[in-house]
Structure 1
Amino acid sequence: MNVASQSTVFGRRKEPHTVIIARGNEIRHFTIRPWVAAFCGSALAAMAIGYLLATSYLVLRDDLIGATTARQARMQQAYEDRISALRAQVDRITSRQLLDQQLMETKVGELLERQTQLSLRHGRLGPLLERAEGDVGTPPAAGTAASAKPDKRAEVTDAPLQAYAVASLGANLGAGDARPFSLWSTRSDPLPSDTAADRADRLFVSISAALKAIESQQLTRIATLADNAYRNADAISQALEAAGLPVDGDFGKSDAGGPLIPLDSSMAFDSKVRELDETLDALDRLKTEARRLPLANPAPGRSVTSPFGVRTDPLLGTAALHSGMDFRAPTGMPAKVTAPGVVVKAGWNGGYGRMVEVDHGNGFATRYGHLSKIDVTVGKRLNAGDVIGKTGSSGRSTGPHLHYEIRHNGQAIDPLRFLRVGKKVARYL
């Protein structure tokens, strides 16, 4: 009754599975619950899946390891290639900097050597140029040469400053700019076009051009002074020769020859300096000879009342030889000697009246007659322009004037020749 009623209400109950194990006289049985069966099936499925995954991993592991190793090898090779490229670039940069530094050190040495030569040249040129400017006196004939005249002080001061700047730049180039160098070392960009070496090269070129300009100006100045000295010496020599006066016969004349051997700048400078020195010596000799001659006018600005030569005697009215020149001069005007010399006569001398005679050497002497007063004594040494007395009308004279004579070895010479020569060479003396 109870079973029927339960089945009617809940339905038939399903009996659990029972496993019976019989072994001999022993019989064992156990009941399998549904959830236990589900659990065991899930465990078996999980074990099967794990086994399959483990098997797959073991099969594919070698391929994965090989692929990873290959990828790492490729990355390492790429890094090594990059490092090699950077090292090569650093080596190129370092080599270029070393070469640039060596080149600049060489150029700096050359510039310093040239600057030293210019300083030594200036030391030699200073006294020589002062002497030349004092002896020559006239400006250069060519306008370009005159405009190119250098400032001697600038030649010495500017070149050391420029060479010092270049030396400083060359000394600092080895360190370089730390920031650009680090960028060049970590990048594959090419070197910038305007590097420190390029800027230094441009500076070297400008300084070298300036030094060459100074050298050229020095040589031009020396050549210009030598040419002026030659011209002055030629003018003096030609004027003296034209008047038949003694002159150094060896000036400007030489017997020489030989092959042409080109000179470098230092030899050319020495040659120009030696040529200028020799020319100035020759000019000094000519000036010294010319200054010994009575070339000055004894009465500048005064008219000539009686020339040298045959004339009508003012007292007798007959033809007579006039051995000098008469200059109109009032009584008491200072009479000046026309060249340096020694007084050999000072006193009354017949028709000359009060007369002074001055010996100038080389057989030349001058006489100053008809003086009203004598201010020198025999044996006194005189310079050109010294006063020897005062003009007057003493002796055989018709009025106050200055009688002026030039004698060579005792023979009277026309003073007009000397006056003309003196007028020509006065600006050179």
Structure 2
Amino acid sequence: MLRYFQRTAKDRYRCVGGRTTTCTGLGRSVNNKAVDVKPPLRNRLNHALERIFPERRLFLRSDSDTRFILLKPTSQLLIWVGGSALIAWSIISTAILLMDNIGAGNFREQAKRDMHVYQARLNALASERDLRAAEALAAQERFNAALDQVSQMQTQLLVLEDRRKELETGMEAVHATLRRAMQERDEARYEVSTLTTELQDAEVGANGNAGSREMDGAVGFLSSALEQTAKERDTVIADAAHALNTADDLKHRIQQMEDQNDAIFRQLEEAMTVSVEPLEKMFSAAGMDTDSLLRQVRRGYSGQGGPLTPLSFSTRGEEHSANTIRANQILNKMDQLNLYRIAAEKAPFAQPVKSAFRFTSPFGFRRDPKTGGRRMHNGVDFAAGTGTPLYATADGVVTHAGWQSGYGRLVKIKHEFGIETRYAHLSALNVKVGQRVSRGDKIGGMGASGRVTGVHLHYEVRVGGKPVNPMTYIKAARDVF
């Protein structure tokens, strides 16, 4: 006898009852045997969950029909788990966002304090830079004035040297005349003595007045000649004494001029040392070989002339004096200083941003602002307002001015010594490919093009194609420019 039926999910029937039972389902029958068909796993799970999630029907009624949706225990369990997960995710996300907002507020406050400190430091450095620039300008003016004094002293020394040689020649002529006059005087004295002896002999043996008159005339002539010779001798002696006094005065003046010249040379040597040493330290701090650097600049600027021509105090082929050697050494230092200044204009020692900015990312490995992974940062980042002017940091030629993936609007400038600078994420470009720019020329405006999280400048320096830290050059030139 059939006691009751339970319908399964697959439209099967389970027979429960006596020993002889007939159960039909899916076109099959079983007679005279007790049948125990196990339900599938899903039905067992539904049966187990019915105590917590009983089977429910959701009726949907329209004007012409009524339908229902059967919500089984497993479906209700999935809905409950999904809703719980969604609520938990919402709670966790809200907590994370709240913590991020609190942390971002603290970070903004700290960033503001850092910005004020950095701005104050930047203003102090700018004031110090202006002071150093004024001192350098004053030193340059003093150097130019000293150089003019050296030129004037050289002219005076040449004039005095010519006068000294003329006086030496005149003194030699005076000495020759004096010796000749003294010789003539001695000869005249000898003749007077001879004539006096002859006169005495003639007076003893003279017999007439005619011979006496002739002797008197000869004696008068000789006396006149002697007086004239004595006057010429005195004049020559006086001229010689005056020439000697003049020569002593000239020697004293020449010694004073040499002392002044030595003082000027010392000042010039000190000024050149003060001017050249900071430039040498700057290039050395940037990792550049100064000897190779000077050779390369000298090859590009090989012309000679003007005030840098070696000095020469004489045109007669004599060896250079000590002053000439010192002057040539100073001129060589001036040439070296000039070459260093040319090289400094061609290497990126300046800053690309002259307005107020915030230094937001250094060179080296960092946490990627987009993905959060650890990546190499090949430059430095300067953050400021949109359109902030950007300037070339050295003389060079623009090799790229346009869009490049990741960089956005990008400007590449090729410089001397195998150096290249890159200016990325620009909002506008003011240069084009092939254009030659000088240090301080405007090349564009700061922007947020390319792969960025905000407005800033990504600045790179590459040597031989390999990225190097741009702050090495900027810090090296901090006490020079």
TM-score under structure 1 length normalisation: 0.51
Paired residues for 1:20-419 under 5 Å = 137=140, 139=142, 150=149, 152-153=151-152, 156=155, 201-248=244-291, 266-300=320-354, 302=356, 303-419=358-474
- What amino acid is the match of 1:324? G
Deviation at 1:199, TM superposition (A): 6.3
Q: Larger C-alpha radius of gyration, 1 or 2? A: 1
Deviation at 1:152, TM superposition (A): 4.4
Separation in 2, partners of 1:381, 1:324: 23
Separation in 2, partners of 1:361, 1:161: 49
Structure 1 residue matching 2:353: 3-state secondary structure: coil
CA offsets 1:35-76 (integer angstroms, 9 cap, x no match): xxxxxxxxxxxxxxxxxxxxxxxxxxxxxxxxxxxxxxxxxx
Distance 1:154 1:233, change over 3 A: closer
Separation in 2, partners of 1:361, 1:332: 29
Question: In 2, are the aligned partners of 1:331 and 1:391 still within 8 Å (CA)?
Answer: yes
Separation in 2, partners of 1:230, 1:376: 39
Q: Which runs of 5+ in 1 are unaligned?
A: 1-132, 141-145, 175-184, 252-263
- What amino acid is the match of 2:448? S
Question: In 2, are the aligned partners of 1:247 and 1:289 still within 8 Å (CA)?
Answer: no
Deviation at 1:354, TM superposition (A): 0.7
Structure 1 residue matching 2:477: 3-state secondary structure: helix
Question: In 1, are the aligned partners of 2:407 and 2:424 still within 8 Å (CA)?
Answer: yes
TM-score under structure 2 length normalisation: 0.46
Deviation at 1:138, TM superposition (A): 7.4
Structure 2 residue matching 1:315: 3-state secondary structure: coil
- Structure with the bigger RCO (C-alpha within 8 Å, sep 6+) is 1
Deviation at 1:230, TM superposition (A): 4.3
Deviation at 1:217, TM superposition (A): 3.1
Distance 1:157 1:208, change over 3 A: same
Separation in 2, partners of 1:279, 1:154: 20
Deviation at 1:400, TM superposition (A): 2.1
Distance 1:206 1:250, change over 3 A: farther
Deviation at 1:336, TM superposition (A): 0.7
Question: In 1, are the aligned partners of 2:153 and 2:261 still within 8 Å (CA)?
Answer: no
Deviation at 1:163, TM superposition (A): 8.3
Structure 1 residue matching 2:268: 3-state secondary structure: helix
Q: Percent identity?
A: 31
Question: In 2, are the aligned partners of 1:135 and 1:280 still within 8 Å (CA)?
Answer: no
Separation in 2, partners of 1:147, 1:374: 46
- Report the aligned-residue RMSD: 4.5
Deviation at 1:420, TM superposition (A): 1.0
Distance 1:266 1:202, change over 3 A: farther
Distance 1:245 1:152, change over 3 A: closer
Structure 2 residue matching 1:320: 3-state secondary structure: strand
Deviation at 1:329, TM superposition (A): 2.3
CA offsets 1:274-299 (integer angstroms, 9 cap, x no match): 32233333333333333221111111
- What amino acid is the match of 2:427? S
Distance 1:136 1:291, change over 3 A: farther
- What amino acid is the match of 2:424? G
Structure 2 residue matching 1:235: 3-state secondary structure: helix
- What amino acid is the match of 1:269? N
Distance 1:160 1:362, change over 3 A: closer
Distance 1:266 1:362, change over 3 A: closer
Distance 1:267 1:134, change over 3 A: farther
